[in-house]
Amino acid sequence: MALSLALSACNAPPSQPLPAASDVPSGTATPAAAATPIGPEREVLAFGDSLYAGYGLDRGQSLPAVIEARLRAEGINARVVNAGVSGDTTAAGRQRLAFVLDNMDKPPELVMLGLGGNDVLRQLPVAETRANMTAMLDELRRRKIPVLLTGMKAPPNLGPAYVASFDAIWPDLAKRYDGVLYPFILDGVIGDPALMQADRVHPNATGVDRIADRVAPLVRAALAKDTS
């Protein structure tokens, strides 16, 4: 049940799609002991649904904002552009990805791709989800942009066949496209009331911090690999 509720987190009322990729609002939460960022600005695009958009959180508490603040506190001059749209399915993401990329000031060095929760919530065919994710990864490969996938998992009540087929999408595609994979974005958070908002479906600020504990090092490592 907890996992079923988690998937509703991505089904918040849809916000107006961004006319272009924009920082909404990253970098507003700066740790007290932050180092001075050095070097050229490293741009990361966080492209996903409400779990990236920061639904129900205050300014600076979204996952992209927290990850940016952590990178900058370590002296990494990073800007994490928040292109999360609440309610987006993989089909909606597929439709807007190229537009968002085309309207950025410069190509990102890394794309965090986090979609799929609304697909499983609506029990869309797994083949459609896989096809949409594949199309987005094809677009990123064409542009030579590395990707970090934050995966989603199906609740067990949808049946073992659906669960096995759906859950396999992210590890399969990470291997195929040589992407970095964080298998389940809500791992270690869903089901813990202390880490969830009152609706019990969206992470609160503490929950986002817990997710960032695990995802920020992957972003850091991906950026380091890009310069090696």
Residue 179 makes CB contacts below 8 A (sequence gap 6+) with: 137, 146, 147, 148, 149, 173
Running DSSP on this structure, what letter comes out for residue 67?
A: H
**Listed residue (144, 56, 55, 140) closest to 100, CA to CA:** 140
DSSP letters along 141-195, please? HHTT--EEEE-----GGG-HHHHHHHHTHHHHHHHHTT-EEES-TTTTTTT-GGG
CA distance 220 to 68: 10
Q: Look at residue 92 and give its three-state secondary structure.
A: helix
Which entry of 58, 105, 178, 199 is annotated as an active-site residue? 199
**Listed residue (4, 9, 75, 65) closest to 39, CA to CA:** 75
Residue 99 makes CB contacts below 8 A (sequence gap 6+) with: 20
| Residue 49 annotated to the active site | no
Which entry of 62, 86, 167, 202 is annotated as an active-site residue? 202
| Residue 88 annotated to the active site | no
For residues 39 and 77, is the Cβ–Cβ distance under 8 A? Answer: yes
Which entry of 50, 86, 167, 209 is annotated as an active-site residue? 50
| Residue 8 annotated to the active site | no
- Residue numbers annotated as active site: 50, 199, 202
